[in-house]
Amino acid sequence: MNPSHQKIAIVGLGYVGLPLAVEFGKQRPVVGFDINAARIAELKDGHDGTLEVAPQDLVAAAQLRFSSDPDDLKACQIFIVTVPTPVGQANRPDLTPLVKASETVGKALKQGDIVIYESTVYPGATEEVCVPVLEKFSGKKFNVDFFCGYSPERINPGDKINTLTKIKKITSGSTPEVADTVDALYGSIITAGTHKASSLKVAEAAKVIENTQRDLNIALVNELSVIFDRLGIDTIEVLEAAGSKWNFLPFRPGMVGGHCIGVDPYYLTHKAEEVGYHPQVILAGRRINDNMARYVARNVIKRMIGNGIDVARSTVGVLGITFKENCPDVRNSKVVDMVHEFQAWGIKVVVADPWASAKEVAHEYGLALGPVDHAHPVDSLVVAVGHHEYRQLALADLRAYCRGDQPVLADVKSLYNRHEAAAAGFTVFRL
């Protein structure tokens, strides 16, 4: 198979799909497909609301065309599926977007076509879930009439240094020949090189353990943070001291949200339970990390009570609601869990974020973004996300955002010197 002149369809134009479509679109004909007509309209206007792709890069992708019409997929021979794979309320994999995308692609499949999945899944999902859907809606037979590949996404939203082409790409194919084809396809745009896995399952497993490992490392320092708080010592100071050893890993405590680290481990544990193994370490890490947002809120409340603040009549300002700094992505934001904990105590919460879309926050979480500043003071303050706007704030400015004699400052990301914050009049809490 020689894919060099084949037309590519990228199905799903979010944080993963759009950069991929742009890179391929600089070299060859590409259809960027998304069911969200509003998303297609903004991209046609030259604007990416995720801020992952600059307007000049959209222009540079001269052979990329955007569409929300499934009929436009029929002219393509290679389909790359990059739709979200979230978890439901019970933390079970929700493969609905993946199944729907497979239905759409299945209707467009022709003899010899290749379907490559980038969405994070558990080992075996491509062959066990996606392939039957492709066969049903195409009327064709897997590895006879069409073929599959799996190449997990490694996009880091908001990261302008480790971008798509600079991150080594894992590739795989459903036959040795297809594996070579998929590897060559990605090798044409990924300057960092590729790693060809021996099977689809190996590639799928590699993806979920990347983020499971990070999740567990963060869970360890989060648990250490809880212990050190009870011992009356500062976690960051301990980590900095331990970090003086060359092989100490520099993980920091925090609220683990987003679409990867806080989600992927549940895909692995789901599959493990299906085959009769009940994970312990992985789920223990998830329990710790999922509880950190409520832990932060309760520690703020405890200190507010200690300072004589009438909690039930108070207002807490929260700076930042995106899942990470300098990025507009609010998916699976654990800041929302913290807000809900405050609200459960009768506290009024005002959330501000210069990066987040007010419309998206309202739609996803039912929260209205509002100002937290000198003109709209609050009783206590949580700096939840390390946006550069917040890193640049002087402690005097933060203090002016608060009324009363003894406000609490929860510096979740340890952006400020805690001694200087205390000198500015704050009771300081940080992880």
Active-site annotation, residues: 260
User: Cβ atoms within 10 A of the Cβ of 286, count?
Assistant: 22
CB contact at 8 A, 380 and 426 = no
Query: What does the alpha-carbon distance between residue 385 and residue 399 come to, in Å, rounded to a whole number?
Result: 18
Query: What does the alpha-carbon distance between residue 305 and residue 307 come to, in Å, rounded to a whole number?
Result: 5
DSSP codes, 25-56: HTTS-EEEE-S-HHHHHHHHTT--TTSSS-HH
CB contact at 8 A, 122 and 271 = yes
Query: What does the alpha-carbon distance between residue 302 and residue 296 come to, in Å, rounded to a whole number?
Result: 10
383 three-state secondary structure: strand
Residue length of the chain: 431
- Give 274's contacts (C-beta < 8 A, 6+ positions apart): none
CB contact at 8 A, 73 and 108 = yes
283 three-state secondary structure: helix
And the tokens for 278? 């009940």
Q: Among residues 211, 180, 178, which one has the least CA distance to residue 194?
A: 180
- Give 88's contacts (C-beta < 8 A, 6+ positions apart): 94
- Count how many Cα atoms sit within 13 Å of the Cα of residue 272 in the half-sphere of its side chain: 16
DSSP 99: H
Element counts in the chain: helices (H) and strands (E):
16, 13
CB contact at 8 A, 369 and 351 = yes
And the tokens for 318? 């929260």
And the tokens for 353? 């974020």
- Beta bridge pairs of residue 115: 79, 148
Query: What does the alpha-carbon distance between residue 78 and residue 109 come to, in Å, rounded to a whole number?
Result: 9
Residue with tokens 């550069």: 388
